[in-house]
Amino acid sequence: MSTVGAPLRIVIADDQASVREGLVLLLGGLPSIDVVGAAADGEQALALVAEHRPDAILLDLHMPVLDGIGATRRLTAEHPGVAVVILTTYADDESVLDALRAGARSYLTKDADRADIASALQAAAGGLSVLDARVQAALLAAATSAVPTTPAAAAAAPSQPPPPDGLTQREAEILLLIAQGLTNSEIAARLFLSNHTVKTHISRIFAKTGSRDRVAAIGYARRHNIG
């Protein structure tokens, strides 16, 4: 661990070599940051943390061998003194909540600049949490769409049947937006998701509903009174 006034010692973990190497150069050039290791997956990240005992780790979510959520859980359990900062392209509420529940201290998206990343690492190492604007918006959207939890509100809220054919609530929500004619990019913006996440959800919707394309999915939605 760093002594007072010493550079913050960090490990970087990202499976994309270009991103990983870019972050090493970007952050390693700061006098306040000392990059002590760079990993291509969660298992490598754990090994580097055990070897170097850094102050913080900058961690991607989607990596092979052991993903960011699994790595965060193990880091929190095995190295509680190491602050976990997530840096990823995914800002949907499920990814954010999973990471925070696993023990991540801060969550940034990859459009954050060098100063924002360095500040988040310093803050996390000091015990504070940092969430960028897109992440805060995703959490706010999740909170405002949550099912009421008070007894009075729960009693007043009409019961809703579960979506058909094993669709999740999120998949049903995306199917509704497809039926309303929204494009993938428009759905991503509406729900604070990445385009990749939307495509993944749509693939699952097609598989569960037996739809070959969006036209078939819209027909399914209408037959089941979705949209």
pLDDT of residue 133: 74
Q: Which stretches does DSSP call E strand in the chain?
A: 8-13, 33-39, 56-59, 83-88, 106-109
- 162-223 architecture in CATH? Orthogonal Bundle (1.10)
Rounded Cα distance between 4 and 107, Å, is 25
Domain 8-139 has CATH 3.40.50.2300: yes
Long-range contacts of 19-26 (CB under 8 A, 24+ apart): 19/60, 19/110, 23/58, 23/87, 23/117, 26/114, 26/117
Phi, psi of 195, deg, nearest 5? -60, -35
Full-model pTM: 0.64
**Side chain identity at residue 225, one-letter code:** N
pLDDT of residue 149: 53
Domain ranges of the chain: 8-139, 162-223
pLDDT in tens, the chain (227 residues): 566 678 999 999 999 999 999 999 999 999 999 999 999 999 999 999 999 999 999 999 989 999 999 999 999 999 999 999 999 887 777 788 888 889 999 999 888 889 999 999 999 999 998 887 777 776 766 666 655 555 555 555 555 678 888 888 888 889 999 988 889 888 888 877 778 888 888 999 999 999 999 999 999 999 998 86
